[in-house]
């Protein structure tokens, strides 16, 4: 708080605005005040308003001649009261000689003080100061009424944690329901029914006073069979020397919000558990470890961006001499993409087993998906059929990433860039076409989704297909499992802690001719 000496100095530098007071008729008044205040004389009420509006912070009080109160149209008091800018400025009537009737009329009109001779220099400044304090008290009372209309509880404390004011008394406070009970002067230890809450509040207050840093927290209160959650936001108050002199705080009832939040958190945990089960089911739908024959080895990897994803791969025997290879990416993420993946994988698998070329199979699958595509998904698919006897691959590409091929042990990986057809699920009656890859004695095929090439690091750089091919070409051991492990480790190192927003799926196929048995 500002001490009396500082308050005296502050008031001594302020101005008294006078209206209708003649220095020649009341010299004693001016002599009693001139050592403590500056004086500004106004010619009329409009000039009083003008002076106040121009230097409001420097005004101590307005003094007017008491005899003016009986003048017709004298509306100084009502004009000052109607303007909220002047609500804290006391209005004082001054009389050189005045009857009791005049004094009563001034008081009934609403003056805050009434001066009459003798004008004592040691008393008048004190009376002006007290009038200002009384005006402050009225202003604070009006503020209390307004604050109590708010749903939030706003309160003030001193630097020892004692309450100065609180706009609301909530039922969880000790004795808050007793008649005449007041929070003023009490600490949290005095008013809180729960000593742990009191301890938490007191420690937060003392730490704030010591550090000057505000704080906020949620209180959970369980008393009288009622569960409440209160959000408390506190900030220190400072004196003129920038020292913490108290605390202002606002307390909000966030019970409904907190209970709703906890409900969603519980539901979120349940959904996470359900999604983990769905993810495991999805992984179980992928083909199990490939039973390598003499000519072929396959390894795969799939990392969903969420618990469940839209990428999928597949490989399966169509007959004794042919293996189907599938790499696909369903639009979207999460459960919709996972459902789209499941449907597409089943439809493609079942149709492939009935026979035909990749183009014929893809054309039929596309028409089936388009016929009942209520989710409006689309799927990019690379679908190939590998001839185990020759190592050659016949394939078709429905908008998917280009595969990379190494035809012999001495070659390097290169992209097989051909015309892409639209993804399945977009337009009915598309006639897909076949392409072919002829491989040498010892060839490799690398299939992937765009989650491999488009994944970004913290700087926003893409991993890219060139980086992937560079890794593959640098392998001293091109066994499928080593190739997949190396790429996964390189992608993990490249990405670091940056979140992934797309599934990352790969397949590596290596073929040996009969010459290398």
CA distance 26 to 98: 13
Q: For residue 103, give every residue at least 6 positions away whose Cβ sits within 8 Å of its Cβ, in sequence order, or none.
A: 66, 93, 95, 114, 116
Q: CB of 227 within 8 A of CB of 253? A: no
Q: Are residues 135 and 227 in the same domain?
A: no
Long-range CB contact pairs, 370-376, < 8 A, 24+: 370/424, 370/425, 370/426, 370/427, 370/428, 371/428, 373/425, 375/336, 375/339, 375/340
Please give the residue range of the domain that contains residue 102: 4-147
In a domain, residue 264? The reply is no
In a domain, residue 332? The reply is yes
The number of folded domains in the chain is: 3
Q: What is the pLDDT of residues 140-167, one digit of tens each?
A: 556 666 666 666 788 888 888 888 888 7
What pTM does this model have?
A: 0.53
Does residue 175 have a pLDDT over 70? no
In a domain, residue 272? The reply is no
Q: Are residues 167 and 125 in the same domain?
A: no
3-class DSSP state of 261: helix
CATH code (residue 230): 3.30.450.20
Q: What is the pLDDT of residues 447-462, one digit of tens each?
A: 999 989 999 998 989 9
Which CA distances in Å does 322 have to 37, 369, 394? Answer: 107, 25, 10
Q: What is the pLDDT of residues 57-76, one digit of tens each?
A: 889 999 999 989 888 889 99
CA distance 365 to 430: 10
Q: What is the mean pLDDT of residues 27-33?
A: 90
Strand residue runs (E) in 181-295 = 215-223, 226-238, 244-253
**Torsional sign, CA 68, 69, 73, 79:** positive
In a domain, residue 464? The reply is yes
Q: What is the mean pLDDT of residues 263-291?
A: 72
Please spell the DSSP secondary structure of 129-169, one letter per residue: HHHHHHHHHHHHHHHHHHHHTSSSEEEEEETTS-EEEES--
Q: What is the pLDDT of residues 478-506, one digit of tens each?
A: 789 999 999 999 999 998 888 888 888 99
Model pLDDT, residue 10: 45
In a domain, residue 278? The reply is no
Q: Are residues 429 and 374 in the same domain?
A: yes
Q: Are residues 97 and 172 in the same domain?
A: no
Helices 124-148 and 4-12 pack at an angle, to 10 degrees, of 110
């Amino acid at each position: 708080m500002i001490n009396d000496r500082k308050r005296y100095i502050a008031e001594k530098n302020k101005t008294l605005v006078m209206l209708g007071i003649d220095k020649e008729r009341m010299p004693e008044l001016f002599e009693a005040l001139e050592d403590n205040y500056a004086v500004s004389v106004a010619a009329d009420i409009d000039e009083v308003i003008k002076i106040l509006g121009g230097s409001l912070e420097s005004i101590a009080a307005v003094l007017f001649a008491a005899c003016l109160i009986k003048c017709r149209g004298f509306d100084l008091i009502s004009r000052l009261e109607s303007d909220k800018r002047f609500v804290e400025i006391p209005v004082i009537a001054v009389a050189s000689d005045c009857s009791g009737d005049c004094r009563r009329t001034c008081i009934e009109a609403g003056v805050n003080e009434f001066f009459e001779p003798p004008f004592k220099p040691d008393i008048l400044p004190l009376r002006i100061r007290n009038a200002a304090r009384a005006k402050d008290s009225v202003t604070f009372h009006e503020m209390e009424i307004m604050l109590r209309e708010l749903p939030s509880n706003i309160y003030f404390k001193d630097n020892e944690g004692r309450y100065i004011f609180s706009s609301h008394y909530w039922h969880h406070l000790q004795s808050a329901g007793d008649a005449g009970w007041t929070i003023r002067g009490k600490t949290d230890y005095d008013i809180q029914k729960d000593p742990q809450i009191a301890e938490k509040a007191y420690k937060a207050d003392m730490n704030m006073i010591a550090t000057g840093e505000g704080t906020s927290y949620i209180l959970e209160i369980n008393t009288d069979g009622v569960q409440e959650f209160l959000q408390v936001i506190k900030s220190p108050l400072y004196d003129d020397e920038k020292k913490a002199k108290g605390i202002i705080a606002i307390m909000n009832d966030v019970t409904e919000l907190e209970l709703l939040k906890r409900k969603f958190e519980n539901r979120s945990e349940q959904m996470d558990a359900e999604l983990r089960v769905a993810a495991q089911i999805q992984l179980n739908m992928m083909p199990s470890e490939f039973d390598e024959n003499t000519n072929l080895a396959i390894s795969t990897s799939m990392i969903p961006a969420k618990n469940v994803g839209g990428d999928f791969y597949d490989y399966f025997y169509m007959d004794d001499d042919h293996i189907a290879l599938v790499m696909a990416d369903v639009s979207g993420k999460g459960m919709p993409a996972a459902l789209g993946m499941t449907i597409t994988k089943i439809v493609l698998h079942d149709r492939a087993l009935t026979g035909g070329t990749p183009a014929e199979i893809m054309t039929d699958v596309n028409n089936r998906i388009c016929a009942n595509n209520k989710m409006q998904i689309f799927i990019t698919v690379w679908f190939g059929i590998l001839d185990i006897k020759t190592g050659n691959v016949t394939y078709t590409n429905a908008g998917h990433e280009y595969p990379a091929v190494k035809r012999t042990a001495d070659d390097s990986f290169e992209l097989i860039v051909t015309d892409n057809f639209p993804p399945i699920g977009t337009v009915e009656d598309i006639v897909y076409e076949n392409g072919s890859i002829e491989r040498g004695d010892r060839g490799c095929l690398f299939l992937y989704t765009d989650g491999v090439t488009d994944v970004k690091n913290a700087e926003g750089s893409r991993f890219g297909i060139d980086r992937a091919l560079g890794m593959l070409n640098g392998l001293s051991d091109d066994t499928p499992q080593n190739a997949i492990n190396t790429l996964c480790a390189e992608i993990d190192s490249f990405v670091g802690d940056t979140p992934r927003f797309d599934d990352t799926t790969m397949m590596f196929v290596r073929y040996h001719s009969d010459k290398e048995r």
